[in-house]
Structure 1
Amino acid sequence: MSGSRQADPRRSRRDGRERALVATLALLTCVTAVVSSLGAPLVPAAAAAYGTGLATAQWVVTAAMLAGAVATPLVGRLGGGLGRRPTVLVTLALVTLGCAVSAWSAAVDASFGWMGAGRALQGIGMALTPVAIAVARDEVPGPRMPSTVALLSVTTVAGVGLGYPLTGLVVDHGGLPTAYAIGAALTGATLLLCLTVLPSRVGPGAGRLDWSGAGLLSVGLLAVLLAVTRGGSWGWSSAPVLVLAAAGTACLCGWVPWTLRRDRPLVDLRLAARRGVLAPHVTALVAGVGMYFLLSLAMVVAQADDTDGWGLGRSVAVASLLLVPYSVSSVLGSRVALLLGRRRPHVLLPTGCVMFLGSTLAMAAAHHELWHLAASMAVGGLGSGFTFSSLPLLLIPHVPESETSSALAVNQLLRFTGMAVGSAVCVVLMAALGDGPAQGEAGFRNALLVMSGVWVLLVAGLALARTRGRPAVPGQEVDVVLGPGADR
């Protein structure tokens, strides 16, 4: 009896530490997502505050996206090697500094370059989600780990969706400095909480970082993504875009054989091509494209001039509210996916993709009322919740513990790459497939139909991979994460 009384306090303390850790990790992923959203809704406000054109002001989005993409594999590897706690703390400190720099720049009318530098530092925070998931894998007990991983995966999507309308409201009432000051306060508070709660245990993958490979990958990614994100404003056939694309492609082509020869590469390409890993990676890339296709075109039609007979002519603040049903549905979709995954994990990714397909087709067919767009966004949010919450759960059983952070970083990098491609290509397709200006309804509808075709191909590919690549012992792999009976 006395042993039981002694065990209960120990269990209570352990459960309390676990709840505090999960709450801290959820806050970490959500706050960094909210901070990353301090870009797209603020482009018009930044252009007005700094007296620049929209193309220049777009760097508040581009700088963060490029920094996040380049930092993700580095932070992912450092989070599994040199120690997750210092990696998280240093990254959060950089994000807090970035918010403070942007707030200062907007308050004193400093050069726009300071704003861009601050946004680049903020973008590094997007690389923390894989590290947070790796911490959850190691520190949260088995039965609770799947729900925690799913929560951390979807908080990034929900954070962006809620951050857009909140950002619009803050800027309307307090201006740019207030928005970034709030971001600094949120990340600073998260830093202090992580300093208190985050365990100090060093990750299992300690080893020397491949700095040469990191340099090749970073330069290649930076050049290619810069060409993709700025091609629309600089001109796709312009010399800077062509040079960047060629140089980036050359660096990435050189990086592949280099990394295959390393004993401990920055990104394990052989692991990325392993059965059970490749499908989530491909899905992350396509889902990133499809997500930003949907979000970007919803913003276009909501704000397009209604004199053309198809745009709704709404303000930025009203258009941003469309992301609320998307965010709420994302959280709901992640919970349903977790329940479904215990019995039929193989249907998670196809189901999410079909929901994305349905939302894309629905928006192409009906987009003349605000509720039409809200309904499409809600369905897309369900697809987002299903897809993005399932990716780490399906990856983890196929990845060694020492490679968890790095493998999830690769998956997130592919998602970022897809987002960059989606945000740039959707406008290009509108212009190419329309029968008038870039905002024409025909171009809008045809671009969505093209994306629908991509979703169909992905669903077919996932079905084909399922029939050709069943595990040798059905259910054995997914039981590791989702629990007994997961594949029955």
Structure 2
Amino acid sequence: MTPPPRTDGWRLAALGAIATVTAVVSSLGAPLVPSIARAYGVGLGTAQWALTATLVAGAVTTPVIGRWASGRLRRPVLIGGLVVVLLGTVLSALPVGVAALVAGRALQGVGLALVPLALAVARDLWTGPRLASRLSWLSVATVAGAGLGYPVTAFVAEHLGIAGAYWFGAALVAFTLLLAVLFVPSSPDGEPQPVDLVGAALLSSGTVTVLIAISRGETWGWAAPLTVGLTGGGLLLVSAWVGWSALRVRRGRQPLVDLRLAARPGVVGPNVVAFGLGAGMYGLLTLAVILAQADGSDGFGLGHGVGVAGLLLVPYSLMSVGGSRVALVVARTFGRGALLPIGATVFASAMVLLAFGHDSLWQVLAAMALGGLGSGFSFSSMAFLIVPHVPPSETGSAMAFNQLLRYLGFSVGSAASVALIDVYGGGGAGFRGAALTFAMVCGAVGLLALGGRRRARDV
């Protein structure tokens, strides 16, 4: 039965708020990192976990919540997820130390897993051209939310402090929770899918362990027993996750994500680019924010406040949306397989531009805009590049794995960016070295995507 127009509009508003506000809340990390470091008296590497913790939590909870929230449990899981995000935002706002702030930011990462649920609710509610239009609107709302979140929350933080920014986020989440309770409908009957909790524990613990070693390696020493031990232990845990997933498949049980899909021709390229450009994206974002707020005492920095730093994502977001539109034209002219190599090359060019041109704010904005164009080309094309190469029954699993790699890439880029500046000696030389390293990573995944395109064509 079709809902009345007024109810229909409120349902769309509720789903739009979920997509937008979770993006806004996830953006409460990067522009505030230098401010958190100063306010709590910690290094940039420690403060960077205010962003990294959110991304790691999003990476691990996305496939878990996606399975929990199937059938009749979709609405309660979505509402419960918003409650967790609200609690995390309030915890980050309380003046109880940087550890509590990072823990709150990890809870906020659950919000990243709620956007696919909002899209799933939309698929239940609408069909045909209306569904296509509203899915497109919700996807744009996610990008716009991140783009809006950076300048707005940075403006609030500049005038009300770090706590004020998180209280502002808590108010937005509370309003979104109210809309969800009132207007998100119950889902059709259906049993929830089993969740591989062991796999989730292995993946999350392994990922966090490796990222801690990356972020603290310069302080402890890259050859120190603790750094080497954590790196090796984390890799062993991730390897154990791979083995455990294979064992579940052999026993006919559903793993956290089906890793067999990663090796399919036509799927390898999007997966490699998702991880590599995910790392590059948050590398670019973090480096630009650090540059904007650095005072120039180390040979680089523009000396702006958190408000200006928050504006840096605006050209990135706008060009991401514009790039996704241009990508459609390029795909019709040169074929879809050209999008990933082009997107990765453009993104690598943005990192090179930032490495050698960062003495003025307009140069940073230009690099962010160019990075947004590359991001729009790449991330907007993932779904329709993967779908033709997997059976319909495996589409959800294939996309979940791609999303997982994207979030893991975000996490690595966030943790590695500050560490790379230190590795290359700090100051201007360290900044340039870090930017060029990310440029090489993006260029390499572009070449791999080009090779994967050719192999897929030959199959």
Scaled to the shorter chain, the TM-score interval is 0.7 to 0.9
User: Secondary structure in 1 aligned to 2:427?
Assistant: coil
Q: Distance in 2 between matches of 1:132 and 1:397?
A: 24
Task: Select 1:464's aligned residue among 413, 429, 451.
Answer: 451
Q: For the structure 1 residues 140 and 283, does the alpha-carbon distance in structure 2 shift closer, same or farther, using more than 3 Å as the test?
A: farther
Q: Distance in 2 between matches of 1:471 and 1:144?
A: 37
1:383 alignment counterpart: 374
Task: Select 2:427's aligned residue among 422, 436, 439.
Answer: 439
1:348-392 Cα distance to aligned partner (Å, 9 max, x none): 323322321232232234222211111111111122222222223
Percent of aligned positions with the same letter in both sequences? 49
1:191 alignment counterpart: 177
1:477 alignment counterpart: none
Task: Select 1:141's aligned residue among 127, 135, 139.
Answer: 127
Task: Please say which of residues 211-220 and 284-293 is displaced more in the overlay.
Answer: 211-220
Q: Distance in 2 between matches of 1:288 and 1:95?
A: 23
1:99 alignment counterpart: 89
Q: For the structure 1 residues 44 and 379, does the alpha-carbon distance in structure 2 shift closer, same or farther, using more than 3 Å as the test?
A: closer
1:276-317 Cα distance to aligned partner (Å, 9 max, x none): 333222111011111122222222333334466653232332
Are residues 1:361 and 2:342 paired? no
8 Å contact kept, 1:356–1:455: yes
1:329-351 Cα distance to aligned partner (Å, 9 max, x none): 22222333355556643333233
1:101-158 Cα distance to aligned partner (Å, 9 max, x none): 223x23xxx3444333322211221222333344445554344555655554554444
Are residues 1:162 and 2:153 paired? no
1:5 alignment counterpart: none
Task: Select 2:272's aligned residue among 282, 295, 308.
Answer: 282
1:18-70 Cα distance to aligned partner (Å, 9 max, x none): 66555433321221121122223333444455455555444433432332233
Q: Which amino acid aligns with 2:346?
A: M
2:79 alignment counterpart: 89
8 Å contact kept, 2:390–2:398: yes
Q: For the structure 1 residues 203 and 457, does the alpha-carbon distance in structure 2 shift closer, same or farther, using more than 3 Å as the test?
A: farther
Deviation at 1:94, TM superposition (A): 0.5
Q: Distance in 2 between matches of 1:62 and 1:268?
A: 25
Are residues 1:128 and 2:114 paired? yes
Task: Please say which of residues 228-237 and 415-424 is displaced more in the overlay.
Answer: 228-237
Q: Distance in 1 between matches of 2:221 and 2:55?
A: 20
1:475 alignment counterpart: none
8 Å contact kept, 1:361–1:448: yes
Q: For the structure 1 residues 399 and 85, does the alpha-carbon distance in structure 2 shift closer, same or farther, using more than 3 Å as the test?
A: farther
Are residues 1:332 and 2:322 paired? yes
1:27 alignment counterpart: 17
Q: Which amino acid aligns with 1:439?
A: G
2:234 alignment counterpart: 248
* Number of corresponding residues: 454
Q: For the structure 1 residues 396 and 153, does the alpha-carbon distance in structure 2 shift closer, same or farther, using more than 3 Å as the test?
A: farther
Task: Please say which of residues 287-296 and 21-30 is displaced more in the overlay.
Answer: 21-30
Q: Distance in 2 between matches of 1:426 and 1:49?
A: 21
TM-score (norm 1): 0.81
Q: Distance in 2 between matches of 1:126 and 1:416?
A: 9
8 Å contact kept, 1:150–1:390: no
1:312 alignment counterpart: 302
User: Secondary structure in 2 aligned to 1:261?
Assistant: helix
Structure 1, unmatched stretches of 5+, are 1-9, 473-488
Q: Which amino acid aligns with 1:351?
A: I
8 Å contact kept, 2:293–2:301: yes
Q: Distance in 2 between matches of 1:19 and 1:390?
A: 29
8 Å contact kept, 1:360–1:376: yes
